[in-house]
Structures are given as structure tokens and as C-alpha cells.
Amino acid sequence: MSITNPSTGAHPSQPGVPLPKVTMPALGEMKRQGKPISALTAYDYPTARLADEAGIDLILVGDSLAMVVLGQENTLSVTVDEMLHHTRAVRRAVRRALVVADMPFGSYHGSIADAVANAVRFVKEAGAEAVKIEGPRVELVRALVNAEIPVIGHLGLTPQSVNRLGGYRVQARTADAVLELQADAFALARAGAGAIVLEGVPREAAAQITAELSVPTIGIGAGPDCDGQILVFHDLVNLTFSAAAKFVRRYADASALFRSAIERYREDVEHRAFPSDAESYHLTARKATGAAGRQAMGADNSSADLDSDEAVVNRDAFEDWPS
């Protein structure tokens, strides 16, 4: 039985019952057992909590944060401090999934010592259980593993290389390029990477690498033969305000849902239909003394309605008016 099988433990919403926490070694075990790994990005408490409660195995605080949450043109500008801030929020929400922090552009492109120091911050200050780095940085992977930091590699279309690549293009489109990709994946795995994200590569290339690699591949735009799949949360629920890439499947239309909710709220406010009386707090007869009470309850101070049990709404939050 898989040590990550959610059915062996409690749902995260059941406090006090042990959970089968997903770890980096557990991902390797899933590959060996042929059990697909589900991964999703999240950047804040509510989405991370929903993903965790839905049984997602790996939650990545991706540097896609820059684009889908912060509205930047690409991922290059997001900082270590911004990524730490969001990783902390995600960490607070997650009980079962493996929490992986994406190291942002510039945080691991200088010396190995600086890169390790930055990675340590994600573990120490934000509670990340692994970091992800882009490109075939074999020496860095070795140094991170020596520093006890699990690492996920990321090959193929690496968005932090957008300026060098000249755009977001499918990679490994020739036999030589596939061989190079495969060699990079093997080298990262030998150096200690616990898994490799393969992004924007032909299905056939990803399938071949997945079949021969000792650690799991997690695909995004790499076809169905990888050991796992990852999507950006905002793509999954249509919150990106742009056309979806070919590999994206929209599982919900949150844009339409949120837009309609916000429009209906605005209309209700404009028509004085929100809040209703039932959504308002009331003075009780007991407390309705003094000028405010007399004004609210009429001259004789004896309105039965205002003195009823329903007079104080949301009693979990407010037992009574503060005296």
C-alpha cells in the first residue's frame, strides 16, 4: 500500500487523526508503484487549503505568482521576499501535500553558496519542504542535497530563460535536443534531484525520459506519460485573462463565477438591497436604553421584535453588544 495513499489516513479537515504526509521519498515510491502524482500551484492560504483538502500530492508555490497573481509580464521580476511571503501562507494551509517553493530568477544564478543560503531561507523562514530550480544545474542540486534540502529540477521550456529562448516555445523538437534533455534529466537525478518537472516538450520525448529515469517526472505541456502532472491553479479555474495554452484544461470558470457575484453585490448595494434587516445587528430591549435605544425602538422601549432571540445576528461572533 502506498505511504501516500490518502485513503490510509484522515482527510485534512479531520483534525487530530494522523495524515500520511507526502514527502520527497514518497514521490519516488509513487513512481515505483505506478501511482500518478497530482501537483498544482498555489500562492495563498485558501487555494492551498482547497488543493490540500482535495488530495493534491504536491503544491508548488510557483514563480508563476509573478504573472497570475501580481500581474507581471513574465516571471523574472518576482523576488525572494515575495516568494517567501506566499510560501508562508501556503505552508499554513497545508497538512498533507509536499510544499515546494520555486526559487525565483536571480536567487540561484550567482555563487553556489549564495544559492544554498537563499534555499535555506525557504526552508527556515517559510517552511518549504523542497525547492525547485530551473535548468541543468547539476552542481547546485548536489550542494542543495548536501545541505539537506530536497530539490526538484525543471527542464524543457524553462520560463526564467524566456529572454535567451526568445519566447515560450516548445523545446526538444529534434532528436539531438531530446538526447540533450535526457542527459540533463539523468544528470540532475544522479546529483540527487527528487523529481524533474518537464515543461513544454513533445509527448514522445517526455515518455522516453519518464520510462528511463529513476525519479518521477512531473509534466506540464509534456503529454500524459509523465509520472505526474502539474498545472497553474489560475489556468485550471480560468482566472488568467488570456487564451489558454494547448495543454491547459479548464476545470471551472472562476472568472465568470466571481464576476457575476461581484456584479450582483454591486447591484444590491446600488438598490439598497444589501444588507437586509436579517443581515443587521439589532439593539435588544434590555440594552436599548439611552438616546440610541429610544430612537431605535420608539418612545415606549417595548418592541418585542427587537428583544427576540434573533435580534443579535451571528451569535457565534458576537454574544452580545459589549457593555
Q: Which residues are catalytic?
A: 199
Asked if 42 interacts with ligand KIV (CB under 6 A), we say no
Q: Which stretch binds ligand KIV (CB under 6 A): 21-29, 58-66, 205-213, 306-314?
A: 58-66
- Considering only residues 204 through 233, tell me which ones interact with ligand KIV, judged by CB under 6 A: 220, 230, 232
Q: Which is nearer to ligand KIV, 130 or 306 (CB)?
A: 130
Q: For residue 60, which phi and psi values (nearest 5 degrees)?
A: -100, 125
The Cα–Cα gap between 94 and 100 comes to 11
Q: Which is nearer to ligand KIV, 60 or 191 (CB)?
A: 60
Residue 175 CB, nearest approach to ligand KIV (Å): 25
- Residue 128 cell numbers, joined: 518549504
Residue 78 CB, nearest approach to ligand KIV (Å): 9
Query: HSE (CB half, 13 Å, CA atoms) of 42?
Result: 30
Which residue in this structure is represented by grid cell 534555499?
119
- Residue 66 cell numbers, joined: 509573478
CA distances from 82 to 72, 122, 179, 221, 230 (A): 13, 11, 36, 27, 22
Q: How many of the chain's residues bind ligand KIV (CB under 6 A)?
A: 11
What residues contact residue 243 under an 8 Å CB cut-off, 6+ apart? none
Q: Which stretch binds ligand KIV (CB under 6 A): 17-25, 61-69, 122-130, 141-149?
A: 61-69
Task: Tell me, residue by residue from 84 to 123, as one string, x for binding to ligand KIV by CB under 6 A and - for no binding.
Answer: ------------------x---------------------
- Residue 230 cell numbers, joined: 502539474
135, 180 contact by CB (below 8 A): no
Closest chain position to ligand KIV (CB): 62
With CB under 6 A as the contact rule, the residue among 24, 37, 62, 84 that binds ligand KIV is 62
Q: Which is nearer to ligand KIV, 43 or 288 (CB)?
A: 43
- Considering only residues 119 through 178, tell me which ones interact with ligand KIV, judged by CB under 6 A: none
User: Which uninterrupted H or E stretch holds 151?
Assistant: strand 151-156
Q: Which is nearer to ligand KIV, 62 or 150 (CB)?
A: 62
If DSSP states are collapsed to H, E and C, what string results for 267-305? HHHHCCCCCCHHHCCCCCCCCCCHHHHHHHHCCCCCCCH
Asked if 38 interacts with ligand KIV (CB under 6 A), we say no
286, 312 contact by CB (below 8 A): no
Asked if 63 interacts with ligand KIV (CB under 6 A), we say yes
Residue 50 CB, nearest approach to ligand KIV (Å): 17
The Cα–Cα gap between 137 and 300 comes to 80
Site residues (vs ligand KIV, CB under 6 A)? 41, 60, 62-64, 102, 197, 199, 220, 230, 232
